[in-house]
Structure 1
């Protein structure tokens, strides 16, 4: 199974949640999934994570490369047909940095229209609701705990709350790991 991992920078307040990205990489490695982290080459305001105040503009692709494990690629020029699934770690950067991105919209549209699985966590569900409607997994997300995941068969969307429901890396990792494992089973 070959996965595209969509990053939105580096840091919960203005990018992708670093812990969720690392736990995602660990789960993908554990289950033998090939993956490519991608981000868009755009500049956006950053956040000082100590004061939570806006800071200088930063490039999303360059910031994502900090946690890209040497595999980071610009999403421009990626052939989505080569990938079986899309994984979206959480972070506020998804909601802010990609608010008006036609490139990211095309990526989501590709996976969604072909019913290829999309697995997301934390703020990723709010991001996906922009494309698939505000009621996507609405009930499930209210009752779901961090070590679990849920699945929307109609849209082929997987979701785990991760750090939305816990402060524990271990607990978030259980949810992310079980979600990636379930996704992998579909390709066996």
Structure 2
């Protein structure tokens, strides 16, 4: 027993000596604890949809990519859509209007939101750190009349209110694909991108949108599909997405760049 007590005593003494060599006499576990920083509060991001389906609502791949990148960035997301009728319903197997149908933007957007969706009229910039708008023709048909009226378009009153509220509060706004036309119409002089300004043999089939953006008084910047443009003054971030006929992973990369910059601009 004396031998055991001697052995235990020597080990305790060694542990004590090791601790005394540590800064402040802390054990390794204690030292590790002081390197842990307090977790940052999650950025609260509002995602604004325009229906469900590229030709008459939100581009689903864009919405999904945004949600994935927001999740990866640790953001807290709430999804919104206006409670209004769609401009029309498109049969996506034919690319043609379905004359006998009518659908609601909020109801259709709930498909993407997995049912967790709120009327856009309830969105306030005071409760969120940023807002993001995916593309799809719904942005040009349901959130505005751009698809019909071009530079003379009108923007849904709630969409216009939200854009102005976030802008006036100095909170970032992200838009992709055709959605930058909303900012171009509402926020005079804003900088955006919808990609290239020439069709380039069909690679950029909607390149003419750049001229309409300029006609609205906004500034257009040429960007590649995997890039995002940042208007530092207005805290508006845009990326081309499906304005380009590109591989899906390149489109996801551009959306990722947009989301990351939006989250950076929140400061969270």
In the superposition, the TM-score normalised over structure 1's length comes to 0.92
Q: In the comparison of the two structures, how many residue pairs are matched?
A: 185
Match of 2:230?
151
Match of 1:112?
167
2 CA distance for matches of 1:73 and 1:167? 32
1 CA distance for matches of 2:243 and 2:137? 12
Match of 1:53?
96
The structure whose residues are more often strand, as a share, is 1
2 CA distance for matches of 1:185 and 1:109? 20
* Contact 1:166–1:172 (8 Å) recurs in 2: no
1 CA distance for matches of 2:75 and 2:91? 34
Is 1:63 matched with 2:108?
yes
Q: Would the alpha carbon gap of residues 81 and 178 (structure 1) be closer, same or farther in structure 2, given more than 3 Å must change?
A: same
Match of 1:80?
125
1:180, distance to aligned residue in structure 2 (A): 1.2
Match of 2:66?
24
Unaligned 5+ runs, structure 2: 1-42, 145-154, 189-212
Unaligned 5+ runs, structure 1: none
Give CA deviations for 1:24-66 in whole Å, capped at 9, x if unaligned: 0000001101111100111122111122222211000010011
- Give 1 or 2 for the bigger CA radius of gyration: 2
User: After alignment, is 43-52 or 8-17 more displaced?
Assistant: 43-52
Give CA deviations for 1:78-110 in whole Å, capped at 9, x if unaligned: 333100101010111111112252122111111
* Contact 1:146–1:166 (8 Å) recurs in 2: no
Superposition misfits of 4+ residues, deviation over 6 angstroms = none
1 CA distance for matches of 2:251 and 2:105? 24
Match of 1:95?
140
1:163, distance to aligned residue in structure 2 (A): 1.3
Match of 2:249?
170
